[in-house]
């Protein structure tokens, strides 16, 4: 089976045991993030240990992403990495001119500090001078898969620490998204970031263990994956499942590289499409097939993977049973589509 996968080494060393990821459907038990006590002061700037006790690792950011120290911090900026946790750390540790103060992993809330809180770093344009930046592993396009309850809770605890340490009000005027900075050029954390859920955690209120599925973060347009760039992993898996449905033999690993691109070019040539290896709207429209309750196979796996981008939490088993049928109908209802449980051309366009 052909694969594009290249693994990255885990370079950071853990200082606390990783949390267990429970997964599955959202739990019904209510949880909250208790308020944290005030932290008396920041750790010495020379110490290679995190200032926040809940952080696991310290990895220094590249020097050309750092500015002066400061005596005041008045805001927290929420970011999305648009990539993997370790990849984001590696990038910011290099001399690439960008760095946030903290990075949080999606699956278990594992956290790395890269910049001292009292140091300016280049993460949010005009907000650099007065804010602390928190990067969250994930993709804006796949919020239901990456914005986990565990990550929300660990991030909320960190924000509590920052608000306590720096006297930052726990409100949306001072806890903002990268897209809300005055001269923003980014869209993260995107419409799938649940601000109501997150701020309830920051304020120590009880909420469900997992956030509601962000169904309405979907758009009425196909995504695009290309072997020439980094792509959202779940969308890449959808394309790989659909190419396998059409006769390819790809390992569905979420890395749409040269091998997947070659399979796409072969399909495009067979269908008389532009042969570029890029799976965009035109190619997706030819790859899809209507699926409904009782269907099975690679195309159903593509449906299940696509719905998981928006929080369905489905087992990708290729069987279109009652659970998948319910998820399709919930997605259709949330986006004002015909609620029939059938994944036809219109529903495909929205979920992919």
Across the chain, which has 352 residues, the per-10-residue mean pLDDT values are: 47 31 32 43 61 97 97 98 98 97 98 98 96 98 98 98 98 98 94 98 97 97 96 98 98 98 98 98 98 98 98 98 98 98 98 98
CATH 3.40.80.10 residue ranges for the chain: 30-208
β-bridge mates for residue 57, sequence order: 112
Yes or no: say if 329 and 323 are a contact pair by the CB < 8 Å rule.
Answer: no
Q: What is the dihedral of CA 251, 257, 262, 267, to 10 degrees?
A: 70
Sign of CA dihedral 6, 12, 17, 23: negative
Class of domain 30-208: alpha beta
**Cα(177)–Cα(95) distance, rounded to whole angstroms?**
25
pLDDT at residue 47, rounded to an integer: 67
Q: How far is residue 115's CA from residue 94's CA, in Å, rounded to a whole number?
A: 13
pLDDT at position 9 is: 33
Q: From CA 155, how far away is CA 111, in angstroms rounded?
A: 9
**Strands across the sheet containing 175-177:** 57-58, 111-113, 102-104, 131-136, 75-80, 175-177
CA 158 – CA 54 distance, rounded (Å): 7
Residue 120 — φ and ψ, nearest 5°?
A: -70, 140
Distance CA 130, CA 120 (A): 8
**Residue 241 to residue 251: CA distance in whole angstroms:** 9
For the chain, where do the domains classified as CATH 1.10.101.10 start and end? 215-351
How much is the pLDDT for 170?
Answer: 98
* Residues 6 or more apart whose Cβ sits within 8 Å of residue 228: 261, 278
| Chain-centroid distance, C-alpha 76 | 19
CATH architecture observed for domain 215-351 = Orthogonal Bundle (1.10)
Q: Tell me what pLDDT residue 48 has.
A: 86
The angle at the Cα of 273, spanning 268 to 276, to the nearest 5 degrees, equals 65
């Amino acid at each position: 089976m052909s694969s594009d996968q290249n693994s990255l080494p885990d370079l950071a060393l853990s200082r606390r045991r990783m949390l267990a990821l429970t997964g599955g459907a959202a739990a019904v038990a209510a949880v909250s993030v208790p308020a944290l006590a005030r932290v008396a002061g920041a750790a010495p700037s020379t110490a290679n240990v995190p200032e926040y006790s809940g952080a696991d690792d310290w990895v220094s950011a590249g020097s050309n992403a750092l500015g002066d120290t400061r005596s005041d911090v008045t805001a927290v900026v929420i970011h999305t990495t648009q990539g993997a946790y370790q990849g984001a750390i590696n990038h910011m540790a290099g001399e690439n001119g960008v760095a946030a103060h903290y990075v949080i992993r999606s699956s278990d809330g594992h956290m790395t500090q890269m910049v001292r809180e009292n140091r300016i770093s280049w993460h949010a344009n005009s907000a650099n001078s007065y804010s602390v930046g928190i990067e969250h592993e994930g993709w804006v396009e796949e919020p239901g898969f990456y914005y986990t309850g565990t990550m929300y809770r660990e991030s909320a605890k960190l924000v509590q620490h920052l608000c306590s340490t720096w006297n930052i009000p726990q409100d949306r005027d001072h806890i903002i998204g990268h897209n809300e900075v005055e001269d923003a050029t980014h869209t993260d954390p995107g419409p799938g970031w649940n601000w109501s859920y997150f701020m309830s955690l920051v304020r120590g209120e009880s909420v469900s263990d997992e956030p509601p599925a962000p169904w309405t973060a979907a758009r009425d347009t196909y995504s695009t994956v290309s072997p020439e760039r980094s792509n959202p992993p779940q969308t890449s898996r959808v394309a790989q499942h659909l190419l396998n449905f059409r006769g390819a033999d790809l390992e569905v690993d979420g890395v749409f590289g040269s091998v997947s691109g070659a399979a796409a070019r072969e399909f495009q040539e067979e269908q008389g499409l532009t042969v570029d290896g890029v799976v965009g709207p035109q190619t997706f429209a030819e790859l899809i097939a209507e699926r409904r309750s009782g269907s099975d196979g690679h195309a159903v796996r593509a449906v299940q993977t696509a719905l998981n981008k928006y929080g369905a939490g489905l087992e990708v088993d290729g069987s279109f049973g009652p659970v998948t049928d319910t998820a399709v109908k919930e997605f259709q209802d949330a986006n004002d589509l015909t609620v029939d449980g059938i994944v036809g051309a219109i529903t495909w366009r929205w979920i992919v």
